[in-house]
Amino acid sequence: MSLLALLDYASVLVFALTGALVASRAQLDLVGFAFVACLTAVGGGTMRDLLLDRDPVFWVGQPAYILIASGAAALVFFTAHLVESRYRLLIWLDSFALSIAVAAGTGVALAQAQPPVIVVLMGMMTGCLGGLMRDVVCNEVPLVLKQGELYVSCALAGAVAAMIATGLGLATLPALGLCALVCWGLRAGSLIFGWRLPVYKSRPPRTRG
């Protein structure tokens, strides 16, 4: 439980930074920064907790999450102009937030002994929904849907890795570490080396003709 709370704290912090960076692209004021930061930071975990009927939702029971997200927003508001490329920073922070949040969601569902499909899905949702809300609300192209990049796939792979690892008898802590590592490794590979899955083309490739 302590490990899971720690993962939630870390993912809230890093996702809040990404939310504030997107708010800086929309040139909002400090309260707007905090709003987008909180939405991004707790969005995925909130859906996870509502769906798994955890009571109370993680940040309702522990308001420190909101204070952390607001503090992160203030930090970005006053220092983001020092950053060379805010978009680059955003993309990389988002990759960390994604990986930690997938581990957090997977861990919560594992602790509830949910069936494998639900464990994997909760990991993916916790990881992807906060960023999706951030991008839909701020009218950015959702990273989730960005063509030719791995994103949801990374979340899927991380959650599946954790499932298999615990199935093979690995303890929760290393299994969730593996989850975050697999997820982040794939995302980083996609960003640096252009790793991708084949995308749908309306004309079929020759090999299938």
CB closer to a second copy out of 47 and 100:
47
Could you tell me the two tokens for 176?
């969730």
Considering only 152, 170, 188, 191, the residue that binds a second copy (CB under 8 A) is 152
Matching residue, tokens 């937030």: 97
Q: Tell me the longest C-alpha to C-alpha distance in the chain.
A: 57
Question: Residue 52's CB: how many other CB atoms inside 10 A?
Answer: 16
- The residues, ordered by sequence, that sit 6+ positions from 200 with a Cβ below 8 Å of its Cβ are none
Q: Is 23 in the site for a second copy (CB under 8 A)?
A: yes
CB closer to a second copy out of 66 and 182:
66
* Residue 162 identity: A
Q: Is 81 in the site for a second copy (CB under 8 A)?
A: yes
Considering only 84, 203, 206, 207, the residue that binds a second copy (CB under 8 A) is 203
3-state secondary structure of 126: helix
CA–centroid distance for 69 within its chain? 14
Interface residues toward a second copy, by CB under 8 A? 23-24, 26-36, 38, 46, 50-53, 55-57, 60, 63, 66-67, 77, 80-81, 86, 114-118, 121, 124, 128, 132, 136-139, 141-142, 144-145, 147, 150, 152-153, 156, 196-204
